[in-house]
């Protein structure tokens, strides 16, 4: 048994929650301490004594504002799958149009698709007739 002492505290939501003070002279005692601590914390989470951060999808940012987590494509995920042409042809005819990404075309075929010109849609509604002032001119010429 050694005489060295370790101290520590478990902090939950900015508040000290558990104070640890122990003499850990040997590796066995250290492992035993860590295992105990693991079970202690797990039990506390299960009992609801410590709110689980993992359960929250939102983190408080300011009093009135929240930032959503989990939006957008997760890192590493992909929208495309590799499929053999012969498998596709069992579902589609040779005339079928299949969407492929511009990036794939550029990298595989070396084809660069020019951006489509922006189509300006004209307002087909008839223009409002300009309002006219009603007047009559009397010239008094015989």
Residue 140 C-beta: closest distance to another protein, Å: 4
| Contact between 128 and another protein per CB under 8 A | no
Q: Is 115 in the site for another protein (CB under 8 A)?
A: no
Beta bridge partners of 7: 21
- Please, which residue, 119 or 134, has the CB nearer to another protein? 134
CB crowding 108-140: b at 16 or more within 10 Å, else e: eeeeeeeeeeeeeeeeeeeeeeeeeeeeeeeee
Task: Give the pair of three-digit tokens for residue 58.
Answer: 């939102």
Q: Indicate whether 80 belongs to the interface with another protein (CB under 8 A).
A: no
Supply the minimum distance, in Å, between the C-beta of residue 132 and another protein. 7
- Size, binding site for another protein by CB under 8 A: 11
Q: Is 129 in the site for another protein (CB under 8 A)?
A: no
Residues 115 and 33: their CA atoms lie apart, in Å, by 64
Residue 131 contacts another protein per CB under 8 A: yes
């Amino acid at each position: 048994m050694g005489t060295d002492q370790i101290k520590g505290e478990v902090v939950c939501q900015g508040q000290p929650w558990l104070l640890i003070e122990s003499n850990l002279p040997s590796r066995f005692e250290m492992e035993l301490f860590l295992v105990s601590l693991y079970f202690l914390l797990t039990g506390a989470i299960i009992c609801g004594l410590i709110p689980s951060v993992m359960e929250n999808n939102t983190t408080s940012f300011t009093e009135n504002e929240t930032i959503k987590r989990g939006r957008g494509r997760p890192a590493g995920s992909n929208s495309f799958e590799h499929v053999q042409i012969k498998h596709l042809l069992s579902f589609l005819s040779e005339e079928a149009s299949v969407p492929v990404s511009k990036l794939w075309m550029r990298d595989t075929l070396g084809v660069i698709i020019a951006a489509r010109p922006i189509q300006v849609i004209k307002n087909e509604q008839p223009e409002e007739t300009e309002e006219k002032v009603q007047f009559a001119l009397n010239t008094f010429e015989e």
